[in-house]
Structure 1
Amino acid sequence: MLVRIEHTTQYEYSQPLLTSTQYLRMTPLSGRTQAVETWNLSTPGASTFEWSDQYGNRCHTLTVNKPVSALKVKVSGLVRTRNTDGIVGLAPSELPTELYLRETMYTLCSPAICDFAEPFRKQAESNLIDALHAIMLKIADTVTYSPGDTHVHTTGAEALEQGSGVCQDHAHIFCAICRKLGIPARYVSGYLAADQEHEAHAASHAWAEAYVERLGWVSFDPTNRSSATEAHIRTAVGLDYSEASPIRGVRSGGGVETMHATVAFPGQAQMQSQSHSQ
Structure 2
Amino acid sequence: MRLMINHQTHYVYTDVVNRSIQYIKMTPSTNAHQQVQNWDVSVPGQRDMQLDTFGNVWLTTTQREPYLQMTIMAQGIVEMNLSRTDSNADDLNPKLFLQPTPSTQCDIHMKSFADCYVPRINRANLIRLAEAILAHIPYVSNQTSVHTSAIDAFHHKQGVCQDHSHVMIAMCRYLGIPARYISGYLFVPNSSHLASHAWVEVYIENKWYCFDVSNQLFTPQSHIYVAIGRDYWDVAPVRGVRDKGGIESMSSIVQVLSC
With the shorter chain as reference, the TM-score category is over 0.9
CA-CA distance at 1:84 after TM superposition: 4.0
Unaligned runs of 5+ in 1: 269-278
CA-CA distance at 1:65 after TM superposition: 1.4
Alignment RMSD (CA, Å): 1.9
Asked if residue 229 in structure 1 is aligned to residue 229 in structure 2, the reply is no
Secondary structure in 1 matching 2:164? helix
Which of 101, 104, 109 is the equivalent residue of 1:107? 104
Q: Distance in 2 between matches of 1:253 and 1:202?
A: 32
1:1-278 matched pairs, under 5 angstroms:
1-44=1-44, 46-91=45-90, 94-124=91-121, 128-195=122-189, 203-214=195-206, 216-266=207-257
CA-CA distance at 1:235 after TM superposition: 0.1
Q: Does the aligned pair in 2 maintain the 1:21–1:62 contact within 8 Å?
A: yes
Q: Distance in 2 between matches of 1:185 and 1:84?
A: 23
Deviates more, 1:109-118 or 1:24-33: 109-118
Secondary structure in 2 matching 1:133? helix
CA-CA distance at 1:119 after TM superposition: 1.6
Give the aligned residue type for 2:115: E
CA-CA distance at 1:265 after TM superposition: 2.6
CA deviations on 1:103-129 (whole Å, 9 max, x unpaired) are 1010011122212111234231xxx11
CA-CA distance at 1:6 after TM superposition: 0.6
Secondary structure in 2 matching 1:144? coil
Q: Does the aligned pair in 2 maintain the 1:186–1:238 contact within 8 Å?
A: yes
Q: Does the aligned pair in 2 maintain the 1:13–1:258 contact within 8 Å?
A: yes
Q: Does the aligned pair in 1 maintain the 2:14–2:68 contact within 8 Å?
A: yes
CA-CA distance at 1:78 after TM superposition: 0.4
Q: Distance in 2 between matches of 1:203 and 1:220?
A: 18
CA-CA distance at 1:26 after TM superposition: 0.5
Q: Distance in 1 between matches of 2:232 and 2:18?
A: 27
Q: Does the aligned pair in 2 maintain the 1:112–1:157 contact within 8 Å?
A: no
Q: Does the aligned pair in 2 maintain the 1:221–1:227 contact within 8 Å?
A: yes
TM-score computed with the length of structure 2 as normaliser? 0.94
CA-CA distance at 1:213 after TM superposition: 2.4
Q: Runs (4+) of structure 1 moved beyond 4 Å?
A: none
Q: Does the aligned pair in 1 maintain the 2:194–2:256 contact within 8 Å?
A: no
Secondary structure in 2 matching 1:234? strand
Give the aligned residue type for 2:225: R
